[in-house]
Amino acid sequence: MDGWAVPTATDIAFALAVLAVIGTSLPSALRAFLLTLAVVDDLFAILIIAVFFTNDLNFPALGGAVLGLVVFWLLLRKRVRGWYIYVPLALAIWGLMYNSGIHATIAGVTMGLMLRCHKEDASEQHSPGEHIEHLIRPLSAGLAVPLFALFSAGVSVSGGALGDVFTQPETLGVVLGLVVGKAVGIFGGTWLAARFTKAELNDDLAWPDVFAVASLAGIGFTVSLLIGELAFTEDPLLTDEIKAAVLTGSLIAAVVSGVLLKLRNAKYRKLWEDEERDEDLSGVPDIYELEDPEYHLRMAAIYEKKAAEHRRLAEVAGGERKDGNGPA
């Protein structure tokens, strides 16, 4: 039961990469759904880390971290600017949170949630949230995430290790949780929300789209690896096997969701091509002229012209055969 939370998180970077490569014709609402889903998943995973993987609390350090967060919030409210204020304060909050016994990622998540992500007046070019995101994105994507992946996923994946993944209950549970549990849970939760609440599925989406994205959410990498390490700290061998299970489950989820998204993408591409087709060169797509008599007259003239051209070519080909000049 220690590893029950491992499949919780969705790796937003890998999931969006798969969607971007395969879903070139999918509705933009699907990407928004995945972004929202991944953010909520990660927030729940961070809360799980804070609640279930905290053993001993150091209340003075925790109180200091909370006080630092209050100061951080007040500075944001007063629109105080200057990295030389926020960087030392953020480091102090991180250190206090770490020493309190609560995982230090909670400090970063809390400060991120406090950032204002909308512009309050026309004088602002970017909101504080957008400004910070642009500043730290190169450091986060180019250094922090690759280093985390390098150190967290350092496991030897051999034939024996992969065999153990499907034979041990802990590792098999992680794989099934990522591949089956995430897809069924997300799709079922979305359907129940649409069925019994005022929530509605976006008009641009269909339920097969939701299931494909629910399968894509089974790609759990960074936070899943972190929870796996925290859940089995006393068993290094099982920790490595859990890492292999996370990688295996994420790979299977990526393949399954890739196939489903490819099928949906082909359907939407065909719809797009139908909506863009303008055979009569009227400037209006044919699909919007089906009830216009003039459209059918123009199409009849086009097809009659093509038929006349084919009859002429048939006569030319027949004449060549009679003259003995046709192909042997």
Query: Which residue matches tokens 């030389």?
Result: 84
What does the CA dihedral 201, 204, 209, 214 come to, rounded to 10 degrees?
A: -50
C-alpha torsion sign, points 180, 185, 191, 194: negative
Residue of 103, 113, 108, 96 whose CA lies nearest to 139: 108
CA separation for the pair 250, 213 (Å, rounded): 14
Could you give the angle at the alpha carbon of 238 between the alpha carbons of 233 and 242, nearest 5°? 95
Helix, coil or strand: residue 218: coil
Per the listing, tokens 């759990």 go with 220
Q: Furthest-apart CA pair in the chain: how many Å? A: 105
Could you give the count of Cα atoms lying within 13 Å of 97 in the half-sphere of its Cβ? 23
pTM of model > 0.75: no
pLDDT digits (tens, 9 = 90+) for 89-108: 999 999 999 899 888 888 88
Judge whether 183 and 218 are in contact, CB under 8 Å: yes
Residue identified by tokens 């609390």 is 57
Domain ranges of the chain: 6-53+103-118+126-275, 286-322
Q: Closest Cα to residue 265, out of 30, 38, 33, 35?
A: 30
Residue 179's closest CA among 108, 117, 248? 248
- Could you give the angle at the alpha carbon of 66 between the alpha carbons of 74 and 145, nearest 5°? 95
Chain CA centroid to CA 14, Å: 7
Q: What is the pLDDT along the chain (328 residues), one digit of tens a residue?
A: 667 888 888 888 788 888 888 888 888 888 889 888 888 887 888 888 877 877 778 899 999 999 999 999 999 888 888 888 999 999 999 999 989 988 888 888 889 888 888 777 777 777 888 888 888 878 876 777 777 666 665 655 556 666 778 888 888 999 999 999 999 999 999 999 999 998 888 888 899 999 999 999 999 887 888 888 888 888 887 888 888 898 899 999 999 999 999 999 999 888 887 777 878 778 788 777 888 888 888 888 888 888 988 888 888 887 766 666 555 4
Q: Which fold has domain 6-53+103-118+126-275?
A: Na+/H+ antiporter like fold (1.20.1530)
